[in-house]
Amino acid sequence: MKVLMVQHPHTFQQHDFPPLVMALGFFDGVHLGHRKVIETAKAAAVNSGWKSAVMTFDPHPSVVLSQENRPVEYITPLKEKADLISKLGIDYLFIVRFTSSFANLDPAQFVQQYVIDLNVRHVVAGFDFTYGKYGKGTMDTLPHHGMGILQVTTVTKMEEGNEKISSTAIREKLREGDTESVITFLGRYYETKGTVIHGEKRGRQLSFPTANIQLNEDYIIPKPGVYAVRLFVNGRWEKGVCNIGYKPTFHDPGQSHLSIEVHLLHFKRSIYGEEVTIEWRHRIRDEKKFHSLEDLKAQIAYDIVRASDFLQA
């Protein structure tokens, strides 16, 4: 897959590209609804003898358009999104830098400059895709703005259990700690990547050493609590139990930052500095404060048993 980072205004011309079938969208999570859009574009490209393409944007439009100035938490930061799209067999990935000037393009300008000028002959997008200033362009207006020379395919809403499959719904489920039901939306387990760093060594003092994980990107973090997880490290998956939280047994409220710590089952090697992937499987319980270290150790031992049971299933 050829990846092109596009700054507005770009200088590409039609003859720079073969005829393209392009899927349009932000595609955070590359969930099952997104995959349907991208795979529809891929199939149309194969049928027409053209090349397939995906256009996405970076950063999230809310960074530019929102007045709240809140950091964006991604299901799939840009590199992971690109990797997932590449696995779908796409020929071209256009990553457009989302800026104020780009956001101010009117719908007709967007279609001319970022569709027609890139030699796109066929556009595929979800039913709720919008484009241009204030999102005034819709899938209904796209044929008009395409001046009759574009083929347009609108992919209808996908649902799971009468709920629309969407990035928003996945984020809400992760914030609730519902790491199991997101599987039916993503088509896979939720994953985050990070680096093993030195922590407070509390786990070692309790006879349950942990790997303290510093996430590499602005991922959405599941709700604080204890989870059964798998950790990909040194080329293989290891089973573990993870605590996300503030360690209230050791710290007063407000005196600790959020930490992600994984105790690996049947694992004794040092992995400081290693790049790892956490695969979030099952939420076991909320984080809570214990009256004694013995109570905490007993709870951790029970958590390990429960995590082991979940990971054997």
| Complete edge-to-edge strand list for the sheet that includes strand 120-126 | 2-6, 92-97, 51-58, 20-24, 120-126, 151-155
Domain spans, the chain:
2-159, 189-312
**pLDDT for 134-173, tens place per residue?**
999 999 999 999 988 899 999 999 999 889 999 999 999 9
pLDDT band at 202 (very low <50, low <70, confident <90, very high): low
Q: Give the helix/strand (H/E) hosting 83.
A: helix 78-87
Report angle CA 114, 115, 119 to the nearest 5 degrees. Answer: 115
- Give the domain 189-312 fold: Elongation Factor Tu (Ef-tu); domain 3 (2.40.30)
Q: Rounded to whole angstroms, how far apart are CA atoms 78 and 57?
A: 9
Q: Rounded to whole angstroms, how far apart are CA atoms 18 and 11?
A: 16
Tokens at residue 240, please? 């573990």
- Is the predicted pLDDT of residue 81 greater than 60, yes or no? yes
- The pair phi, psi for residue 11, each rounded to 5°, is -120, 15
Q: Looking at domain 2-159, does it have CATH number 1.20.120.1200?
A: no
**pLDDT for 99-114, tens place per residue?**
999 999 999 999 999 9
Instruction: Specify burial of residue 156 (Cβ count, 10 A radius: 0-12, 13-18, 19+).
Output: exposed
